[in-house]
Structure 1
Amino acid sequence: MTQFDLSPTSRVRPRFGVVGTEFEGDYLLSMLEGLWHTAAELDVDLLIYSVLRTGTPPAFARQFNVNYGFVDDAVIDGLIVLGANLASYTSVTLPFDEVRRRFAHIPTVVVGCEVEGWPSVTVDGYSGFKALVKHFLVDHGYRHVAMIEGPPESSDACERLQAYLDAHAEAGITPNPLLRGRGHFDIASGRDELRRLLDLGVPMDAVVCANDHMAWGCMGVALERGLNLPDDLAVGGFDDIRSYSNARPSLTSVNQNIAEQGAEAMRMLHAQVCGQTPPRDIRLSSRLVRRRSCGCLGLAAANREEPVTDLRGHVQVLMDSMSVPPRLHERLADKMLRLREALAKPDDDQNYQAVLNQLFKLWRGEGLEASLLQNFLLGIQERLLEQLAPGAASLAVGRLHRGQVLIANTADLVGDLEHKTVDDTSNLHLKFKTRVTADILESLLSGLAEGLRALEVRTCYVALYQHPVSFESINSVGLPSTSRLVFALDGGELHPEWCEYEYSTATLLPAAAELAGQTQARALMPFPMFHHNEHFGFIVLERRTQDRFSYEELRHEIAGSLHHSLLVRELDAARELLRLDLERARAANEDLSHIAMRDAMTGVFNRRGFLELAETVMRTARLTHQPMSLIFADMDGLKHINDVYGHEEGDTAICEAARLIQQCFRQEDIVARIGGDEFVALTRSGAADTIAMIEQRLARRFTEYNAASTKPYPVACSFGGYLVNADSTESLDEVLAHADRMMYAEKRRRRSQRQGEGATGGSSTIIADFSPSGSGRLR
């Protein structure tokens, strides 16, 4: 293979790195939004490095910290470290020992906390949280306000606790020490702590939490206990997470300008790299955002101490009272003034509706809460119609009321469409996984292109090291010096010509890909590819703000499929070598064929093995006029297991599911894993009563396992059964498709049931007879 040394290419724009953890969820997505919008304005490329907190104990989690090795001044001009994100569960200083050691030579800005020697962007969370507690105590008159704190080693948690105590002291109220709980900044701990506090029986009329996740957990417990929000229990949080502000009831919170933190850090680093002298440290303010969970209607009371005489000033007061990003102020103000102008014209209803639609589109496009826009219209009625004549004002009020109804109806429709979009995204994942299942590397890469396009991912690079290396080796001597692209999708177009040569791993991409990406600013995310402790390459994906799927899940799917194909390639090479000895080759090839037809992780047949054996078995069954049954299974809750406990634990759950399913069938039946979390079983016993027996056996086996399991999660599957009559002429693909539809119908039914009643572990089955003589009824 030809190899050439590639020095850093001449870039047309600066490139900044961003180091943080996971980059999933509303907090990190809001931070990325601020970073990305400002980077685009400044014409800066981003490289986003997802790592795990330093000191994270599980071996799986540490594998992601290989990404630290890709942070190199050969490819970036400056670095933004999301310090609060990295340190959110530990003390502020501990996680930065390794960061400082690695990146001392790179211009760096820290977001969320102060680190000696580096400029920082922080937030005054104390003032905002104190205003929240005072609002509960003074404005609403709550006297028994509980607090669910964060972990004591977190400086943010300590700051918010102090604000809680000081607000009580200033109000002349002594808080009950029994009304304090300690959470871990997650939903589950907020839920557990409120249950504990309620069980004490101590008077409580409100609860404030150190972040929105714990507050959301409290709201769930309140509904679970039959408490009306906010009449029986008022709730407040911190962060102003977008999804919680859009919930019902919407969550009163403290906005800490998450997107603006990212924007300020980007501007500060850009000035530093360009030779300017930016402020050493920036401290942003936080502000109370009043919504329905505390008893407010959603529109914060505007400051009326200073008189406002001009219309634009009134609009600014309204925007300052709500969670409106500063970058939208000018555009929103213009539309609000146009709306007021349209309201004043009695014969121009069409223009009013057009302006209102534009305003709603801008509002929803930024993810802002529709109910706040309705309250915004109330603010217009109060503040912007004072100068109209009585007749015109009456007409304008009527239009505003109709506008509120229109917004409510449109918001419901948008919500339905967004819910459908989430379902469609799940379906796209299914489409992706069904395409990326080939054993041969070349076929797999072709399917990878189709799957990425189905997900609307337009840019993806896959690089392999010359030889796999262990995690310990990377820690001691660093990443392999060279890599080779095996897949290059850029802007939706494949570029096999970029995959001919080795190049320096430190540059992440070869020169041709770098040059192709210089037409406009973009954000790229590198991910390590590994299987257990073995690293064999990396993936680089373009990160877009509108994408709603998990990039880590996508990485896991690509890495798992590639690892399987590389194993098959090694097996094929071994076969070729063994042909040198005919006698040994014959015995060895039988073993290799067995391996190639078996799933390496679970031991059941893989997709190739199932398709080969099932075709033969079905032909034989038709010749002997024997009916057959096919059971299709899909695991429930695997994403949750992967997200919470790691993919190694997810692999354990997959193996347990395979074992449980296999125990319910005979040795001559064909049980296979045909996808990441999908299984099938084909049996020659096709009578209806036998299918019912299989259903009962599967359900009983999973229930028994979960009852005896010590795992913190249940292992569960949804099943679809399909009866193939002896005279059926259906192909294997058609039979699989029928069973697959039945299984997903059951999965949707169970999802709806869980939303209505709350879900527990277990498995269920849906069976259909769509054979030529069957009734097609669901049983």
Structure 2
Amino acid sequence: MKRKTIALCVTGFDWEKESRIVDGVWRTCLDKDINLLIFVNLLRKQPVYTERPYSESILNGESEIFDLINYDLVDGVLILGDTMIRESIIDEVADRAEAKNVPVINVADPDHPLDHNILLSDRNAMELCVRHLVEEHGLTKINFIGGFPGNYETEIRLAAYKKVLEEHGIPFEEKRVGYGRFWRKAYDVTEDFLKEGDLPEAIACASDMMAFFCMDCLKSHGYRIPEDIIVTGFDGIKESELYSPTLTTSRHAYGRAGVEAVKTLERIWAGEEVSRDLYVESELITRQSCGCVPKKDRNEDFYGEQIAFRTRNLEFNHTLIDMNTRLAAAENSEELFADCISGADFFYMKNLYVCISSYFEKSEDDGISADTTRIAEDMVCMLDRQGKVPVRTEFRSKDLVPIKNFLDGEKMVFMAFSPLYYRDDIMGYLAYEPSYVGGSGDLFTTWVLNIANNAGSFYMKNQLKYVVKKLENLYVRDPLTELYNRRGMNSFGEDLVADAVRNNSTITVFSVDIDDLKPINDNYGHQSGDNAICRAALSIKTAMPDESVCCRTGGDEFVVISSRLEKGMEKQYIESIEKELNSYNNESGMPYKVSCSCGFYTVDGSKFESLEKMITLADIEMYKSKTAKKAGRC
């Protein structure tokens, strides 16, 4: 039986909350032999009150990773909808999945319900904290700090607070409620509580971060926690274990939510009837801030953790500085991405593929003219951490990685994908195999964004060089024939002559003029005349030595400047031009013939006077040839 595959959409799967859910999904997939593909935004969803919203280019760059999902390869999709950087992603992913009959489950996102949802009970979690204060500690004066008035999470937690008070016959007082906006405002709210005069016995906060600001305020006014006022939080973030005193809090059972999401998909695959919403209950964690755990001095484990944390951050800084130094000095794209291996080692990746759009790697012109606002269909692998896939191996983005049928191996596949974008350009993505879930957070985001910014700058410089080169060509080249124009002749011809003079080499100037161009224009039109000019130019360029400077100096006039030709060889090159044109005339089927009259003048470098004089002397020889041709036809 073919192994099932789940696609998981999330922002920052190694941040604390998200990593717990993903860890639950991953461990369940590992246990049940299900492939897991994680499509990851790098930047967090911004709070509604932000003063500096993300630009459209950032939103598009982050969102594009979800367009990479190939719904023909997956059997189910899990979305951590509450983390999505753009809300429209939820419906877009759901619509595409359902169009392919792929079931979708939204996890921990009550604001955007889909046909199937795994929900975390806010009411239960808040009730646990308030009930603990009332029943275990016998408190009645309990204040509440919520997030934003009218916010879904705030209102649910406030309702839970009121419910417990009502159940125990404690009257609800509006003065005991404040709104800390899930951040520093909680400090001000706490000060307002203290100014009220009727001191609370406890303050229940709707987030751990607000609880920290609340406790900071209490301590600044000389109040002891929990001896004078008890404080509880909500979320169970890592910092709640580190703050002094450690924070009593309730938290969602994130890991269990991940487990239940996979099990729900299994029931759907089995054809079982599944309810629209499945609620996962929360858990209470009692610590020092309520007095259930006695205060004590920091132990060696705490300081060991702090030292380990600082050491890892220092190691990351050194890795990042070294990588940026190497990236800035990269001469080509192979060098550009080679040092990504050091980052892959730092994050304990089992493998890493750097996948770049062929627009940027195959052709300079493609990178300018193509639509680079989307992930390209054609990709190029610029790095395989394990070295099994050669650099510049081409593959299709619908296959995700440059390994055919990679989901059909002996073991379950655990692979994550993160976008590489620079301004409005989607350059590609990283495909990587983590060793574990969680632990790096903003470090990983910083690393990937540094790769993207350096790569974007590199490709932009390449394209600018190409544009400059193209503009220079327009300045020195004839647009019809792509031979040098008079400016090109004066620049590159003079350089060639100067080199010949320094080395005392021969200098030869050929003067070439198309025969009877006017009758071709008059009788067959200017398009035919242009064709005759182009065929003559191609014949000249093909026949002449490679280092020659070939120029179109007028409507039907050409000049070729060569060096190091053996004297006596000039006529052979003229014959080569005639041979090229005769071959074209015999095969073209045109009602006209293209021919040229040629003349030349050769001088030793030691006797060179001026290029202008040599062109004049070559012209004289060319006109002698043209006159002789006309006399022969009379």
- The alignment's TM-score, normalised by the length of structure 1, stands at 0.53
1:255-294 aligned at under 5 Å gives the runs 255-273=251-269, 275=271, 281-294=277-290
Q: Confirm whether residue 485 of structure 1 aligns to residue 381 of structure 2.
A: yes
What SS does structure 2 have at the residue aligned with 1:463?
A: strand
What is the Cα deviation at residue 118 of structure 1?
A: 2.1
The CA RMSD over aligned residues, in Å, is 3.9
Shift in CA distance, 253/474, structure 1 to aligned 2, threshold 3 Å? farther
Amino acid paired to 1:181: G
The match for 1:437 is 328
More off after superposition, 574-583 vs 538-547: 574-583
What is the Cα deviation at residue 147 of structure 1?
A: 1.3
Deviations 1:200-258 (A, max 9, x none): 55523321122223223323333344432222332112222233134332211113211
Contact (CA 8 Å) 2:35, 2:407: kept in 1 or not?
no
Q: Confirm whether residue 18 of structure 1 aligns to residue 8 of structure 2.
A: yes
The match for 2:617 is none
The match for 1:526 is 417
Contact (CA 8 Å) 1:26, 1:243: kept in 2 or not?
no
Deviations 1:552-588 (A, max 9, x none): 2122011111112213333554576647669989999
Contact (CA 8 Å) 1:237, 1:251: kept in 2 or not?
yes
Larger radius of gyration: 2
The match for 1:190 is 186
Amino acid paired to 1:508: L
Cα distance in 1 for partners of 2:274, 2:491 equals: 68
What SS does structure 2 have at the residue aligned with 1:104?
A: helix
Shift in CA distance, 426/273, structure 1 to aligned 2, threshold 3 Å? farther
Cα distance in 2 for partners of 1:498, 1:275 equals: 44
Contact (CA 8 Å) 1:575, 1:585: kept in 2 or not?
no
Contact (CA 8 Å) 1:433, 1:557: kept in 2 or not?
yes
Shift in CA distance, 95/210, structure 1 to aligned 2, threshold 3 Å? farther
1:646-725 aligned at under 5 Å gives the runs none
The match for 2:399 is 507
Cα distance in 1 for partners of 2:416, 2:261 equals: 19
Shift in CA distance, 225/523, structure 1 to aligned 2, threshold 3 Å? farther
What is the Cα deviation at residue 265 of structure 1?
A: 0.7
What SS does structure 2 have at the residue aligned with 1:262?
A: helix
The match for 2:25 is 35
The match for 2:177 is 180
Deviations 1:392-441 (A, max 9, x none): xxxxxxxxxxxxx9x94455445533443343334333343334333322
1:485-634 aligned at under 5 Å gives the runs 485-489=381-385, 493-497=386-390, 499-501=392-394, 503-512=395-404, 515=406, 518-543=409-434, 544-545=436-437, 547-548=439-440, 550-573=443-466, 578=472
What SS does structure 2 have at the residue aligned with 1:467?
A: helix
Cα distance in 2 for partners of 1:192, 1:72 equals: 49
Cα distance in 2 for partners of 1:165, 1:416 equals: 43
What SS does structure 2 have at the residue aligned with 1:282?
A: strand
The match for 2:97 is 103
What SS does structure 2 have at the residue aligned with 1:67?
A: helix
Cα distance in 2 for partners of 1:588, 1:295 equals: 86
What is the Cα deviation at residue 260 of structure 1?
A: 0.8
Shift in CA distance, 228/170, structure 1 to aligned 2, threshold 3 Å? same
- Larger relative contact order (Cα-Cα within 8 Å, sequence gap ≥ 6): 2
Contact (CA 8 Å) 1:144, 1:175: kept in 2 or not?
no
Cα distance in 2 for partners of 1:519, 1:566 equals: 38
The match for 2:520 is none
Q: Confirm whether residue 137 of structure 1 aligns to residue 134 of structure 2.
A: yes
Identity of aligned residues (%): 20
Q: 5+ residue gaps in structure 1?
A: 1-10, 299-370, 375-404, 590-779
Q: Confirm whether residue 446 of structure 1 aligns to residue 338 of structure 2.
A: yes
What is the Cα deviation at residue 521 of structure 1?
A: 3.1
Shift in CA distance, 518/585, structure 1 to aligned 2, threshold 3 Å? farther
Deviations 1:183-212 (A, max 9, x none): 443x33434543454455552332112222
Q: Confirm whether residue 425 of structure 1 aligns to residue 423 of structure 2.
A: no
Q: Confirm whether residue 229 of structure 1 aligns to residue 217 of structure 2.
A: no
Cα distance in 2 for partners of 1:530, 1:278 equals: 39
Shift in CA distance, 585/182, structure 1 to aligned 2, threshold 3 Å? farther
Cα distance in 2 for partners of 1:242, 1:450 equals: 28
Contact (CA 8 Å) 2:232, 2:289: kept in 1 or not?
yes
Give the number of equivalent residue pairs.
461
Cα distance in 2 for partners of 1:551, 1:234 equals: 37
Deviations 1:320-374 (A, max 9, x none): xxxxxxxxxxxxxxxxxxxxxxxxxxxxxxxxxxxxxxxxxxxxxxxxxxx9xx9
Contact (CA 8 Å) 1:109, 1:118: kept in 2 or not?
yes
Cα distance in 2 for partners of 1:219, 1:523 equals: 41
What is the Cα deviation at residue 296 of structure 1?
A: 1.4
1:387-426 aligned at under 5 Å gives the runs 408-410=299-301, 412-426=303-317
Contact (CA 8 Å) 2:35, 2:414: kept in 1 or not?
yes
The match for 1:167 is 164
Shift in CA distance, 585/257, structure 1 to aligned 2, threshold 3 Å? farther
1:218-257 aligned at under 5 Å gives the runs 218-257=214-253
What SS does structure 2 have at the residue aligned with 1:35?
A: helix
Cα distance in 2 for partners of 1:113, 1:445 equals: 37
Shift in CA distance, 574/496, structure 1 to aligned 2, threshold 3 Å? farther
Amino acid paired to 2:318: N
Deviations 1:118-166 (A, max 9, x none): 2222233313312311322343243432211133454332211101112
